Structure 1
């Protein structure tokens, strides 16, 4: 049997854990399905019939061949969620947080880099008024309009990063 591979958020960073070897993970899952089938004394044909699968699909699963399962594993990894959690009966729809349009995210990311509305606009080929209007909508969506004006931009950036709407910018020294 193959060594298990962690899929989903890592315990240290909270972000998606790297998927070390998808082939090993698929082989491990296939081994587990085969072991469960053999424990019950069923043939592949019996399990395929009970699961309403074709025997070719079941055989592919047991051999760890890329299937819909690999697509599910890759999607869960990219989302940073644990595969077992998604498959669990305990799964609940995530609470919806604030959102931004892609354009608003671009403007907020640029605003996080600093500068006046005119400077940000020049970097984005926008007018200062367009940048200001976009930031106002961002502040409303992120519910930071109550924050003092001097701190509002930083509060919006923190909120957007916290909700995964933008990624933190890495500082270059």
Structure 2
């Protein structure tokens, strides 16, 4: 039988549900990264989850975590890292990953990873895949995280 989660495990899962990494959750809660990772691991084991996101899903289904409607409760998401902002700005025109990767001297896999991380931080992962980039660009521009107009391009 699965045991109930501790308050610390619930705190860590709540932050993960809101788009924080384990390192960011540790910082928010004043813990070491190892302590946050241990709390996440214990919660996964108690819930029978395979991953931390799976644990969030199972905890929500079990009523341990509240369902998110609109803006999730909890601390505000962290802003984008400099690299995530650079990648999102370079991808703002909807170019394929390979083109964006060439623009910023990276690989398509790294571009995809940074975009996915940015989507989490900007809270657009609930949208269909085809709408995430546009929503992330719009959100980042509204928050002043990327330039309003792509100044990197020069007219041809």
Superposition TM-score, scaled by structure 2 size:
0.46
User: Which protein has the larger Cα radius of gyration, Structure 1 or Structure 2?
Assistant: 1
Superposition TM-score, scaled by structure 1 size:
0.42
